[in-house]
Amino acid sequence: MSQQPTITVHSSAEVSTPPDRASLWWSASVQTKSAEEAKSAIAQRLAMVDAALVSHESAIVQTNRKLHVGPRLRVQRGKSVRDGYTGQCTVHVQLHDFTTLAELVGDLLSVPDSALSGPDWSLEPSNPAFSEARLSAIREAQRIAIDYAAAFGATLAALEEVIDDAGHPMMARTMMRASSPGGEDFELQLAPEPQLAQAGVSVKFSISKPTVEALSGAI
């Protein structure tokens, strides 16, 4: 007994939707004569950042920070010689409320010797647009399978397998980079960037027996 014929199709879909989150990266770097001076300078700047974050606490999802203080070296007569200390710190901020984004950016840029990158826009995995994209991809896969089956004088018989091709949100293609006052001019681009919720699917159907006439016409 011959095995029932099957058709496997691949389909994808994407849905444009407003972002759920915005990410900012603030950083500062100082050069001092001693490690204590470097730590003190970084602490002062972080205190200003913390004050800005507290005033926008309701809009913030989470923050992460990294700190580094180490010797600054230079080469003298073929040897590395300590020439002071460098202090660096970075703070990553994620927001879900964008109404005060411009104000927060201004507060962060007011910190001396600092730079700001962002915003990067993103979607939450639970965003309904992903469900919409998945359903759209499945409907398209079914439509394609029906067309293929009809070309052989057959119809879809049963669903055999569905494989999720793992859609992911696309990051916004633009990024704002800014320096604190006194640096180069910059252009703020703070309007939320639409994001693409993407989905892909592979679907396998069994089909009824193709007709002899359709098979003859396909050869």
The total domain count for the chain is 2
Which of 63, 51, 67 lies closest to 22, judged by CA?
Answer: 63
Stretches where the chain sits below pLDDT 70 are 1-2, 75-80, 167-188, 212, 214-219
Backbone angles phi, psi at 207, to 5 degrees: -125, 160
DSSP codes of every residue in 133-194: HHHHHHHHHHHHHHHHHHHTT--EEEEEEEEE----PPPPS---EEE-TTS-------SPPP
Same domain, 199 and 168: yes
Backbone angles phi, psi at 117, to 5 degrees: -120, 145
CATH number at residue 138: 3.30.110.170
Which of 121, 119, 117 lies closest to 18, judged by CA?
Answer: 121
pTM for the model stands at 0.76
Question: Measured in Å, how far apart are the chain's first and last C-alpha atoms?
Answer: 24
Which of 18, 45, 48, 13 lies closest to 32, judged by CA?
Answer: 45
> Considering the domain boundaries, does residue 182 fall inside one?
no
Same domain, 43 and 115: yes
| Element housing 77 (H / E) | none
Strand order in the sheet with 6-17: 6-17, 195-207, 156-164
Backbone angles phi, psi at 41, to 5 degrees: -65, -40
Same domain, 10 and 76: no
pLDDT digits (tens, 9 = 90+) for 59-77: 999 999 999 999 877 766 6
Using an 8 Å Cβ cutoff, are 12 and 201 in contact? yes
Q: With pLDDT > 90 as the criterion, what percentage of the chain qualifies? A: 73
- What are the counts of helices (DSSP H) followed by strands (DSSP E) for the chain? 4, 8
pLDDT digits (tens, 9 = 90+) for 163-203: 998 755 444 333 334 444 444 445 567 899 999 999 999 99
Same domain, 79 and 90: yes
* C-alpha R_g of the chain: 28
Which residue, of 86, 101, 122, is where some domain finishes? Answer: 122
> Considering the domain boundaries, does residue 82 fall inside one?
yes
> Considering the domain boundaries, does residue 184 fall inside one?
no
Q: What is the domain range of residue 3? A: 1-18+124-172+189-219
